[in-house]
Amino acid sequence: MTAILGKSPELAGPVLRLFSVDCLIGGCEGSILLDSTGNSTAEKDSPLNQGVGGYQVVDAIKAKLEAACPGVVSCADTLALAARDAVRLTKGPFIPLPTGRRDGNRSVAADVAPNSPPPGATIADIIALFASKFNLTAKDLAVLSGAHTIGRARCSTVSPRLYNFGGRSGASDPTLDASYTATLRGQCKPGDTATLVDLGPPTPATFDTDYYALVAGNRGLLSTDAALLLHPATSAYVAAQANATSSAQFFADFAASFVAMSRLGVLTHHKGEIRQVCSKVNPPAPTTTNAGAGAGAGRSYYRLTTTAGLALITTLAVADLLM
């Protein structure tokens, strides 16, 4: 990841988002990485996931892992650890992350919408979705939204707030700071769907609390960012971090929420598989007369293990309790 981001630092945001999308649609089991097949459209090809990227990063790392230790490290863990490192390498916290995830073999585009906020969803609707489907709190939502401190978004995502807002010709979102609206209109012309704009200027490549200062000042780029100001629990967290004198509390909170999210729907032991190629399920294994012994011997690789310091993060995850 150091080499990848050294060459292409703009990939940190997409990798972090890719992991969040994977976890929030069926769990952290690498289903977002699977390609569509002739008779099934995969999650990555859902219209709601057309802006998701970073797949090439996981593929590059997985290829090296398979060359060094074939069949040991799953695509789900590869993605999880790449996302962890994307945070650290952009000056965010190091997150002691449990490993041992195995890969799922189901990826269906129809699963995306039921696990995503519907069009017109309010912040209360989003908080309810997080609670009911993911056992995540309003604070987790506010904390994990802080990942928008790095990365970029396409103009197609931003333009509905800049032009013809609410169906009114020429109108912009009145909750968006007027000077920021003018700046964004200079970057995103009407009809522009390709240009990328920074989620968290002026430090788009640094994982910090500037995101919360932007949101508090009505300069959050996305409508979901602005929505954080419309609920007491999330607006209180935004205000606290916008006025914080250091990033220490946000870093601790983010580590806890990230670990909680990383545990969603994981497959371990005999469940799932270790994909050889992240975009494809494995071919059927040949039958052997000693299959039981082989399966038992292999299981030791797949226990959900921890790294030093996980006890502290787990304590925070339980106390605070999700990409």
Tokens 């220490």 label which residue? 248
173 is in an annotated binding site: no
146 is in an annotated binding site: no
Q: Which residues pair with 267 in a beta bridge?
A: 102
279 is in an annotated binding site: no
208 is in an annotated binding site: yes
- In angstroms, the CA 323 to CA 321 distance is 15
For residue 305, CA distances in Å to 99, 125, 280, 308 come to 5, 35, 26, 10
118 is in an annotated binding site: no
117 is in an annotated binding site: yes
268 is in an annotated binding site: no
Gyration radius from the chain CA atoms: 20
Q: Is 102 helix (H, G, I), strand (E, B) or coil?
A: strand
Nearest 5°: CA angle at 98, between 93 and 99?
120
For residue 258, give the amino acid letter: F
Long-range CB contacts (within 8 A, 24+) of 244-251: 244/209, 244/212, 247/208, 247/209, 250/143, 250/146, 250/209, 250/212, 251/92, 251/93
309 is in an annotated binding site: no
22 is in an annotated binding site: yes
Residues annotated within a binding site for heme b: 148
Residues annotated within a binding site for Ca(2+): 22, 27, 31, 43, 149, 203, 208
Residues annotated within a binding site: 22, 27, 31, 43, 117, 148-149, 203, 208
Residues annotated within a binding site for substrate: 117
